[in-house]
Amino acid sequence: MIHNYNEPKYKNRRKNLLRTLTEKGIRDTKVLAAIEAVPRHLFIDSAFADSAYEDCALPIGFGQTISQPYTVARQTELLAPQPGERILEIGTGSGYQTAILCQLDAFVYSIERFPQLYQVSGKRLRTMGYRKLMLKSGDGTLGWAAYAPFNGIIVTAGAPVVPETLKQQLADGGRLIIPVGNNTTQTMLRITRIGDDFSTEEFSSFTFVPLIGHEGWNNSST
């Protein structure tokens, strides 16, 4: 499903962003096409619209951020969602990463801790025409058992450890993309389930807002 938002001003800025992402090492052409198709300026307050296609995180309220485009592209590239796959996202936030996954034709289940962000992003995604998604507000560290197992799980907040519940909700061959570390720097991990075994690959460092919940940080420890 490809939406086209062809306002010339933003279209040109998206092209420039693609160049930046390519220079930074993003290679997956489907991911780049999704970034080109999704209007990031509609996922943030209009006061920040002029910065929407700079490669930076921006505030979305409640102390949270829409992730940097490079981070979204890299996590999506590592997840490599295939059309029709069932993907669980932890941290809906603005809904931008959700839209990128929908654009790649995944069926997306997404959980957001803040009810207000869940409501705003849900309305936004439906208004934009995304239909293959299920959203809820709650603690994503506990996964979404009713819809498990998932072909992929993407965590868009920094975790102190890998939540065991999320590993157990992976299908055979499923991938969990999660930044794990302290409250300033996290290493991106890709954990792949093979039967009852899990293999872990480590990628570069990132800085995320904290994953707060039962199998994440305590509200008071960050």
Q: Does 157 bind ligand SAM (CB under 6 A)?
A: yes
Q: Does 130 bind ligand SAM (CB under 6 A)?
A: no
Of 67, 94, 110, 121, the catalytic one is 67
Q: Which stretch binds ligand SAM (CB under 6 A): 1-9, 89-97, 123-131, 191-199?
A: 89-97
Tokens of 92: 């809906």
Q: How far is the CB of 131 from ligand SAM (least distance, A)?
A: 18
Q: Which residues from 95-124 bind ligand SAM, rule CB under 6 A? A: 96-97, 111-114, 117
Minimum CB distance to ligand SAM smaller for 18 or for 209? 209
Among 143, 89, 76, CA closest to 118: 89
Among 135, 200, 194, CA closest to 161: 200
Q: Does 18 bind ligand SAM (CB under 6 A)?
A: no
Length of the chain (residues): 222
Tokens of 141: 């560290």
What pairs with residue 40 in β-bridges? none
Which segments within 21-76 are labelled E, that is strand? 58-61, 64-66
Q: Does 55 bind ligand SAM (CB under 6 A)?
A: no
Among 154, 168, 20, CA closest to 90: 154
Q: Does 143 bind ligand SAM (CB under 6 A)?
A: no
87 within 8 A of 151, measured Cβ to Cβ: yes
Q: How far is the CB of 44 from ligand SAM (least distance, A)?
A: 9
Q: Interior CA angle at 3 toward 72 and 188, to 5°?
A: 10
Catalytic sites, residue numbers: 67
Interacting residue ranges for ligand SAM, rule: CB under 6 A: 64-67, 90-91, 93-94, 96-97, 111-114, 117, 139-141, 156-157, 208-209, 211-213, 216
